Structure 1
Amino acid sequence: MSGMTDRSFLILSGASAIAFAAIITGLNGLLVPAGAPTPGAGASEAVSFYEGSALVLWAGSSIPLAWVFSTLFAAGALSRVRGAAGRPWGLVGFAGVVAQNVTFTVVIGVRLAMSSAEEHEGADLLWNLHEALFGLNGTFLALAMVGFSLAGRAGGVIGRFHARIGLTGAVLQIVSACLTPVVMGGNGAAGLVGLSGWLLWVGWLVVYGIRLLPRTHLPDPGGGVAAEAA
């Protein structure tokens, strides 16, 4: 792509990052106050919440848009990577986003399956699968944050502080993923590690989306020489 086509895609990609963050934040803002089971909750609690829940069905029907937006963001972030040093990290970030989309497809599928279960057969197995995938998904968020933080820094898309936030969030996410068995055992304190990493992920994502939006003259985030936007 070139010229206005490049610029249009960057606008789409940056806006998609912000839209993705808005969707996942908005859905959690609705589900948590409604009593959605937290990590480590029992299967009976999950069944009582998800069974026949109109809110869960509505959320399940809207979440595919989030995966579309996250993929567009990842493609835009990868397209901004310049130089051989940043390209491999950009691919790591893109792989992380794709992997988390696939993982969360299964997570949402399990929630929808539980919402339509009539006799609750296999509910324990379904919920344990949900909890395991939900926790292990932190691995892919960590890959996305590490990859695009290092690639974006190498390409002059984001600044040092933004990259450090991404790397900090990635550490919290990978630690949380490793603690998945502990969280599944009901340790709520361990779940706070993943929540902290997730909040950093959302903030990092919004700022990254803003940085992807094209400008006539895009200042170097590190305070160096100005660079032209694509």
Structure 2
Amino acid sequence: MTALAGIAGLGFAVMLVAVNPVLLRAGLPLPGSTRPLAEISDSLACAASRIRAPSVIVPLAWLCTTVFAGGLVATLWGDDPGTNTLALIGFAAFLMQSAVFAVVEALRFGLVSAATRAPGSVAGLWTMANVLGGFNRVFLTLALVGFGAAGERTGLIPGWHAWLGHLCAALLLALAMLTPYSLGGDRHPTARRIDSLGWLAGGLAWITWIVAFSVQLLAH
């Protein structure tokens, strides 16, 4: 199970790196884009037929994250109730973030459909998708803290790996709290810029954390 979880974690990281650029090349606007709504709506309409193919493998990403998280729980589980609790928090957070991203993915298809058939509804759906993705960072925070702390307590991961997760968790939590100003309704310019930079830094740290944990599982 440990090796399978490691492979699943690496598979998820590869899919994450591969799918997002394809979606962007298909014309899908970046979350929280500052472009005028009319341009966003036009981009969504043009991307309607091009987001289907890359979205086919998205369910595999959710499958991989669940196997990865389940394998982590099995590896970290022991006689210490505190460590077990932290591992369960991490597992629950992975399940929640997958559920939220499933809704965000569904909203993407709703957006491209609205852009071609009912442009007047794009604004509400676009804001909802952005805010939902922003608040989802809370679950990423819990996953990083739960599994990171449990992994450090059991000696599965080195100190630098745990601290990378803690720093990334702090950044993601701050960005989640900033969501009403950076992504919701009339967005504050400074909050929007902070969110854009944090989105890139947090995303890179998240992928690095998963890859490092996956390597540790394969070597365990």
The two structures have a TM-score, normalised by structure 1, of: 0.84
**Number of residue pairs aligned between Structure 1 and Structure 2:** 207
Q: Cα gap change, 1:116/1:164 in structure 2, threshold over 3 Å: closer, same or farther?
A: same
Aligned match of 1:190: 195
Measure the CA separation in 1 of the matches of 2:83 and 2:141. Answer: 17
Q: Work out which of the residue numbers 203, 211, 214 in structure 2 matches 1:206.
A: 211
1:168 lines up with 2:167 in the alignment: yes
1:36-59 deviation line (CA, Å, top 9, x unaligned): 322322543332222252332223
- Report the residue type matching 1:181 in the other structure: P
Select which of 70, 79, 87 maps to 2:84: 87
Contact 1:100 1:137 in 2 (8 A): yes
Q: Are positions 1:98 and 2:90 aligned together?
A: no
- Structure 1 counterpart SS, 2:127: helix
Structure-1 residue corresponding to 2:145: 146
Q: Counterpart of 1:12 in 2: which secondary structure?
A: helix
Deviation readout 1:22-69 (Å, 9 max, x if unpaired) = 111111222335543223225433322222523322232221110000
Amino acid at match of 2:51: V
Q: CA offset at residue 116 of structure 1?
A: 2.4
Structure 1 position 182, deviation (Å): 2.2
Distance 2:27 2:160 in 1: 35
Higher share in helix: 2
Q: Counterpart in 2 of 1:226?
A: none
Gaps of 5+ in 2: none
Comparing 193-202 with 141-150, which one deviates more in the overlay?
193-202
Tell me, yes or no, if the aligned pair for 2:44 and 2:111 is still in contact at 8 Å.
yes
Which of 5, 15, 26 does residue 13 from structure 1 map onto? 5
Which runs of structure 2 are paired with 1:1-230 in the superposition (5 Å)?
A: 9-41=1-33, 42-51=36-45, 53=47, 54-81=49-76, 82=78, 83-117=80-114, 118-184=117-183, 185=187, 187-213=192-218, 215=219, 229=220
What 5-or-longer segments of structure 1 have no aligned partner? 1-8, 216-228
Partner secondary structure for residue 214 of structure 2: helix
Identity of aligned residues (%): 31
- Tell me the C-alpha RMSD between the 2 structures: 1.7
Change over 3 Å in CA distance of 1:59–1:47 after alignment to 2: farther
TM-score where L is the length of structure 2 = 0.87
